[in-house]
Structure 1
């Protein structure tokens, strides 16, 4: 069998949190097997449904109310996204393409960093495209790319 290709794009005119991940995960929620989605929400609840409303429609599991603790909420969200991608990768390899990452919001960049660290044992290849001409030292992506150089399994292609 083949793999699963998920694509999400950042946009310089739309500053929606997690936008590239929302696009990619909604595509996964539309096409993943029912039992995979059921296992995911049984284990993780409906957290990813906030990013991918199709997950909520397909499983009937509503996202839990947002926690008053933003850091705890982010940890839950990131863990749930990693869980869904990992579950899918056990059935077929996943290629996650994030286009125009130089326009990504801070939340998306934090999720990207978390996934790079968390998915090292999963059959998930994350490809991020960006315009290096749009990056200066103060750009949040510039610092993250420097951090990625120290991560095992991260390659930069020019």
Structure 2
């Protein structure tokens, strides 16, 4: 989601035209990138011939020979300004008050619910906030917490890409917050082990106590990511297929915990969620 630094800003001797070609290749929306290999080849050949003749490359308009052989559908979102604004306003409220919020987006399949929420991702790039997303699966709703695990896997993979110096504060915060119960979260999100290392086994408890302990440790785990310096937007898609354990955990996060700086966004197909659906009963 973050805009990359142009090559010419990293290394002054890179010609501006070459830098512009790289940035066009890295454009966020597909229609702004080169559409054909021939288009890239033409621009690079033009750079090469200028360099060989005059040892410099003058700026020129890119993509003049980049003519696609198919119709392009733009990725830009149209006609959803009000919905996107509602999401951004909710996020701003969470930032200002700290109190967690739940925002639900409903509609038929294919109407663009996910696209609306993903507009938030573009705005939330660090340092403003963190964005994690997971999608419930019609055939996996008997696996507790699978979608939450998926969401936090993406966050942890982002941490693992950081330098050791940048990763150290996260390692310290996670280790300190989880204490002797880190294995519960490692079981849920195996990538965590790559950050905090091997964890001691946790004590056996009766089922109800074990569930309460899990919810407490999960709240602590989320609190590492949901902080005033980087609030967390957690997007859970296809809530019509959510599992009972995750539903209970979400209720716990939003009503019984002291967790702050969290906006939970859920999307569901309203034609598949009746008044008797567990989600509606819980709401």
TM-score normalized by the length of structure 2: 0.47
Query: 2-side partners of 1:79 and 1:45: how far apart?
Result: 12
Counterpart among 105, 130, 135 of residue 9 in structure 1 = 135
Query: 1-side partners of 2:202 and 2:158: how far apart?
Result: 26
SS in 2 for 1:129: strand
Query: 2-side partners of 1:63 and 1:23: how far apart?
Result: 24
Counterpart among 11, 32, 46 of residue 183 in structure 2 = 46
**Structure 1 match to 2:64:** none
Contact 1:89/1:123, CA 8 A, preserved across alignment: yes
Name stretches of at least 5 consecutive residues in structure 1 with no aligned partner. 146-158
- Residue-pair matches, total: 145
**Structure 1 match to 2:222:** 85
Higher relative contact order (CA 8 A, sep 6+): 1
Describe the shift of the 1:63–1:136 C-alpha distance in structure 2 as closer, same or farther (beyond 3 A): farther
The Cα RMSD (Å) is 2.1
SS in 1 for 2:198: coil
Query: 2-side partners of 1:99 and 1:129: how far apart?
Result: 5
Name stretches of at least 5 consecutive residues in structure 2 with no aligned partner. 1-126, 160-169
Describe the shift of the 1:121–1:72 C-alpha distance in structure 2 as closer, same or farther (beyond 3 A): closer
Deviations 1:84-129 (A, max 9, x none): 2112222411000111111011111111111112456511111111
Task: Tell me the CA shift for residue 132 of structure 1.
Answer: 1.6
Describe the shift of the 1:66–1:139 C-alpha distance in structure 2 as closer, same or farther (beyond 3 A): farther
Matches within 5 A, 1:46-125: 46-62=183-199, 64-65=201-202, 67-90=204-227, 91-118=229-256, 121-125=259-263
The range that moved more, 60-69 or 80-89, is: 60-69
Task: Tell me the CA shift for residue 38 of structure 1.
Answer: 2.1
Counterpart among 131, 139, 142 of residue 269 in structure 2 = 131
Query: 2-side partners of 1:119 and 1:126: how far apart?
Result: 14
Describe the shift of the 1:3–1:55 C-alpha distance in structure 2 as closer, same or farther (beyond 3 A): same
Task: Tell me the CA shift for residue 45 of structure 1.
Answer: 2.9
Which of 1 and 2 has greater Rg?
2
SS in 2 for 1:126: strand
